[in-house]
Amino acid sequence: MSTAKGKKRVKNTPVLYDEPKKKRGVMLTDTAWYSVQELAVKSNISASEFLEELIRKHCIKAG
């Protein structure tokens, strides 16, 4: 998936998806958080985008 680099970001305007992202809180162990960060760096994306892609890939069914 594209990271939409180079696109101008406008607050509350979605860039990669059909809906804007919202700030959320998730509690993770240090081990899990560092793993997410490491995997995100390897994928050249943010931790937030890594989790978004992971969840969309594995949990959201296309209708």
Q: Could you report the per-residue pLDDT of 4-53, keeping only the tens digit for each? A: 556 666 665 666 667 887 889 999 999 999 999 999 999 999 999 999 99
Look at residue 19 and give its three-state secondary structure.
coil
pLDDT at residue 42, as a whole number: 97
Domain spans in the chain, listed from the N-terminal domain onward? 30-59
pLDDT at residue 36, as a whole number: 97
Helices 30-42 and 47-59 meet at what angle, rounded to 10? 90
pLDDT at residue 27, as a whole number: 97
Residue pair 46/40 in contact (Cβ under 8 Å)? The answer is: yes
pLDDT at residue 17, as a whole number: 66
pLDDT at residue 15, as a whole number: 64
Indicate the length of the chain as a whole number. 63
Look at residue 51 and give its three-state secondary structure.
helix
pLDDT at residue 59, as a whole number: 80
